[in-house]
Structure 1
Amino acid sequence: MYFKQLKFSLQSHSAENLSVGDTLRVVFSARNKQGNIITNTGDYFRASIFNLKTKSGAVGIITDHKNGTYTATFKLLWPGEVNIIVKLVHPRQAIEVIERTVWEHPVDKIMFLKRYLIGKAKVDTRCNVDPAVLNNNTPVCNYSDSQAGVRWYCEKAANIFCNTSGYHGRLPTTVKLLRKGEEKLFGRHVFYHCSARMTSTGLDPLVNRTRCMPGLPTPQISGFYDGNVWNSLVCHNRHFSNQSEWRACLRGKTLHFMGDSTIRQWYEHLVKLLKLSDRPLSDAIHQTGPLLARDTVNNITVKYRSHGPPLRCAWTRTFHLQYVANVIDEIEGGPNDIVGISVWAHFTTYPVDMYRERMEAIRAAIQRLHQRSPQTLVVIKSANTRTGKELLAGDWLAYQLDLVMREMFEGMNVVLVDAWEMTTAQQWHGDAIHPTSDIVIQELEYLCSFLCPL
């Protein structure tokens, strides 16, 4: 197996006398039985430096030298003992399989339904982003919206108008994606683990941090955990010790959250933290919304709604599924409005170009929002790490979308909540599509650092 051929060496400028602020490097490559480097390029690694006892952690930066050799670079950001871990998520050969499945099945890995209820009868029609995968003998309803960056089509049901409301859901289908033996290429491998100790304190990485404001650049290492507390290296982020501090920061604010279920977690946690009065709107389900919660005493309003198709969800009314760009266009905006967006988890089964179209439309809508209301705070939550379903929704697929998102919003007057780094940096929880509560709260505290900056 390829991962068994990987060899490592720990390098640093002073391995015997390390201080906070120093850099550690791990160089690794695969070698055959003769000791020659195997020129595998394009492997997907993740690396982090951590201490489980103190719940401290930060990411390592992987450099592919394109010759079969890789370097993982770590910044020493807290005193005491550190452990280094490097994971091979996918070798290049597994990535090639993933890329082939995208080429062979660009849109039909998952199919969707629009269901009409006619009396007691259920009438189902198949839907997706390309009418070519629908029934060629059936007329098609075109629900595309170019301004929202959306392509969406459904088979037309007999004797039912296209604009008739129905229910959106997922069609249970199974597409065979792997060829014989390819399953052996998948499975994460922790193949390097070592420890080091800082003998002197060195430079404090948190001194001279700037005040949090939109538009700040995100460095390669954007923060680190120490004592299970996220310390941003972007700006001076804040933390709350009680409910009163949360309420003081959010008083008078309206928060519009939209996207997938990873940002619905923001809504759910604020409802719990602030003890808000929470209820779905008429005919809505909690999974997709729209949801509304209020604190009338402190004038705090929190909203959530899922993005429009493609969306893997329980049956939900089609008129509730609006596209993010269109929802943004309906927000008047102002200094007390916060728009939070996370769109990625339901796009991993499609080619990256389709995701790019959607995000370009969202970017244009944000630009229009800032033209009419420059003071409106816009927050983009990145993807986060997860495990399993490598061919449909795995880490590598999510990471490709995350790279596009970062490119799309670079230089804009928005805030990036780097959930990818916040989930990669820690080693005390497993990867999960829905991060644990302590991570979500750190994301929200970072958001609030821009509402009531220190």
Structure 2
Amino acid sequence: MKVRACHKAEIKYTALFLFLALAVLIFVLHNIETLEVWYKVNSSSSLPKPTTNRHRRHEFCTFEPLSPEDAQEERLLLESTAWPETPLLPSPLSLEETSDPAHSTFIITLGKEGRQWQIGDQLEVTIKICDFQGRPKKTGGDVLLARLHNVGLGAGVAGKVVDHLNGIYTAVFSLLWEGSAQVEVTLVHPSEAVTVLQRLSVEQPDRIYFNSVFRSGHRSQTTACNVCLRPTQQPQCNYTDVRTGEPWFCYKPQNMSCNARITHSMGQFKQNLKAEEEKLFDSRVNMKVHIRASGPADITVLPKMEGQPNVESSLVKSGPAGYYYQGVWHALDGSTVHEFNTVTITQCLKGKVVYMFGDSTVRQFFEYLNTELPDLKEFDLHNERKAGPFISLDYKNNIFVKYRFHGPPIRIVPVPTSELRYIANELDGITGGSNTVVIFCIWAHFGTFPMEIYIRRLQNIRRAVVRLQDRAPDTLIIIRTGNPKELTPIVALTNSDWHSYQADKVLRAMFKGLNVNFVNAWEMTLAHHLPHDLHPKPPIIKNMINVIMSYMCPQKGG
């Protein structure tokens, strides 16, 4: 009897096992695409993977449904920009337990034979982060920038920082010039500040809000507007763009139509931080502060060894985008950057139509050309100097240059709503061709919003770029990236370098594989000895113009 009972039990558990195995197989087959995506994202590094679940819920931002392809791309991009999980902040927060640049150090890793460095070598630096009591941190997530430079030689290159998720980081530099090279490591934000920034993007995406004036006859009212608008008893006007689906909402004024809206402008900044959290954004203590070396901070680089392969060609795929030497930017992405002057810029632009779209950081290019080219004259459209749009003409050389700011969100002086144009829609209105150049930049006005908003804006722009290149393959497309900037508490809370770095990664991934060209403003600003600035200083802009002109006229220069 016992044998039969055991036999029946075996049959029972065997059937149960087969059922479970079949259920797992069905699940795997049904979700194989998702599992393949997970594997691709999570198998790229042997380091522990950051988690992102804590910050993926956005309380009152609503998003239009995406196509399956766009939704999958969004998921992958969010995973690729996932920041190492930063600690949940205790209440009240103790500053003593947060990352302190004054107690943190870096040391140059000696490596082989004592050690001598030659051009073409890689320099490694170990960074150890400690708290205000000098205790080593046990988690990662700090925002660090690193560069190698020689001010006397006008030389500099950005370093790549690797987070080991245990309070230790490695900065890697390519050695590209002969002579002295000094390491500089900067703590941009402690990991605890990133926790605050992540929370703000979820809870307060409207911490910068915008205004619109509504007018009907002699009556006018002003109401708040935004991408993400909090629901209240007041009705809302929906200004979602019909062609692109870009969302925009305003509170409806009383007894007035939504069609009465006439202007757009930036409102104010609403800060809602706990008192102890404000301590995490102090430029004198823990925000964009240099970390000291525990030994020598500089090395001497010797000439490369005879027979050594060309250094620059070996760095095209794995190294930095470029470096400065004698104040001149040298690209390492396979392109050649020529130096241009007033005469050769004019020769390069002759017969060309140049469209510039975006924020004030691309407007700098328009202003540079107007200042440097004597025959390029701006046509007075009686627009605000910080807004535009602007048009400049050189009749003698048949040059047309136009700048237009991108659509909302845009922090700007009051402008007519008729001037609010999305880049994608503007691109659809361009004929294109071999004499047409499109330069755009979009990043600085998205720092308060969830990354999904930025991703969807870029997806719309990319579709328009593809349509333009389909009908006019010879059209030159140039994209300017974001750049590090000077940080004050308000700037850090609305447009931090941490968010800009994430946006930079998304931008590059979004246009990867397309026939577009980049002005790597991130590295061109980081590698230069001048202080970081939202609007980089003239020597950096001049080098960016050299990059742009080299894309337009690869065989010229002067």
TM over 0.5: yes
Cα 1:141/1:386, change in 2 over 3 Å: same
Instruction: Answer yes or no: is 1:245 the counterpart of 2:344.
Output: yes
SS at match of 2:109: strand
Cα 1:207/1:155, change in 2 over 3 Å: closer
Residue number in structure 2 paired with 1:61: 160
Q: Identify the match of residue 470 of structure 2 among 360, 368, 371.
A: 371
Equivalent residue letter for 1:439: I
8 Å contact from structure 1 (residues 165, 319) kept in 2: no
Instruction: Answer yes or no: is 1:285 the counterpart of 2:384.
Output: yes
SS at match of 2:478: strand
Q: State the Cα distance separating 1:140 from its structure 2 match.
A: 2.2
Residue number in structure 1 paired with 2:497: 395
Return 124-133 or 335-344, whichever deviates more: 124-133
After TM superposition, the structure 1 = structure 2 runs for residues 3-152 of structure 1, keeping only pairs within 5 Å, are 3=100, 4-12=102-110, 13=112, 16-30=115-129, 37-106=136-205, 108-118=206-216, 121-133=219-231, 136-145=232-241, 147-152=243-248
8 Å contact from structure 1 (residues 237, 445) kept in 2: no
Q: Identify the match of residue 312 of structure 1 among 404, 411, 431.
A: 411
* Stretches of structure 1 lacking an aligned partner (at least 5 in a row): 211-216
Cα 1:240/1:209, change in 2 over 3 Å: farther
1:153-185: CA deviation from partner (whole Å, max 9, x where unpaired): 112234543334511112234332x21222222
8 Å contact from structure 2 (residues 127, 170) kept in 1: yes
8 Å contact from structure 1 (residues 219, 234) kept in 2: no
Q: State the Cα distance separating 1:38 from its structure 2 match.
A: 2.8
Distance in 1 (alpha carbons) for counterparts of 2:125 and 2:551? 36
Residue number in structure 2 paired with 1:213: none
Q: State the Cα distance separating 1:310 from its structure 2 match.
A: 0.9
Identity value in percent: 35
Cα 1:34/1:324, change in 2 over 3 Å: closer
8 Å contact from structure 1 (residues 149, 358) kept in 2: no
Residue number in structure 2 paired with 1:262: 361
1:319-351: CA deviation from partner (whole Å, max 9, x where unpaired): 011011100110111011111110111110111
Distance in 2 (alpha carbons) for counterparts of 1:15 and 1:445? 40
Distance in 2 (alpha carbons) for counterparts of 1:306 and 1:22? 43
8 Å contact from structure 2 (residues 106, 291) kept in 1: no
Q: State the Cα distance separating 1:127 from its structure 2 match.
A: 0.9
8 Å contact from structure 2 (residues 340, 549) kept in 1: no
Cα 1:116/1:391, change in 2 over 3 Å: same
Distance in 2 (alpha carbons) for counterparts of 1:15 and 1:84? 19
Residue number in structure 2 paired with 1:407: 509
Cα 1:15/1:49, change in 2 over 3 Å: farther
Residue number in structure 2 paired with 1:195: 298
Instruction: Answer yes or no: is 1:167 the counterpart of 2:266.
Output: no
Equivalent residue letter for 2:387: T
Q: Which has the higher helix share?
A: 2
Distance in 2 (alpha carbons) for counterparts of 1:33 and 1:104? 29
8 Å contact from structure 1 (residues 147, 361) kept in 2: no
Distance in 2 (alpha carbons) for counterparts of 1:189 and 1:379? 33
Q: Identify the match of residue 453 of structure 2 among 354, 371, 382.
A: 354
8 Å contact from structure 2 (residues 313, 332) kept in 1: no
Equivalent residue letter for 2:258: C
Distance in 2 (alpha carbons) for counterparts of 1:33 and 1:91? 12
Residue number in structure 2 paired with 1:302: 401
Of the two structures, which has the highest relative contact order with CA contacts closer than 8 Å and spacing of 6 or more? 1
What is the TM-score normalised by the length of structure 2?
A: 0.75
Cα 1:196/1:160, change in 2 over 3 Å: same
Distance in 1 (alpha carbons) for counterparts of 2:459 and 2:148? 35
Return 402-411 or 7-16, whichever deviates more: 7-16
Instruction: Answer yes or no: is 1:436 the counterpart of 2:537.
Output: yes
Q: State the Cα distance separating 1:110 from its structure 2 match.
A: 1.1
Distance in 2 (alpha carbons) for counterparts of 1:31 and 1:394? 22
Q: Identify the match of residue 234 of structure 1 among 333, 350, 354.
A: 333
8 Å contact from structure 1 (residues 280, 289) kept in 2: no
8 Å contact from structure 1 (residues 86, 190) kept in 2: yes
Q: State which structure, 1 or 2, has the greater radius of gyration over its C-alpha atoms.
A: 2
SS at match of 1:248: helix
Q: Which has the higher strand share?
A: 1
Instruction: Answer yes or no: is 1:417 the counterpart of 2:519.
Output: yes
* Stretches of structure 2 lacking an aligned partner (at least 5 in a row): 1-95, 282-286
Distance in 2 (alpha carbons) for counterparts of 1:34 and 1:287? 46
Cα 1:175/1:361, change in 2 over 3 Å: same
What is the TM-score normalised by the length of structure 1?
A: 0.91
Equivalent residue letter for 1:411: G
Return 35-44 or 367-376, whichever deviates more: 35-44
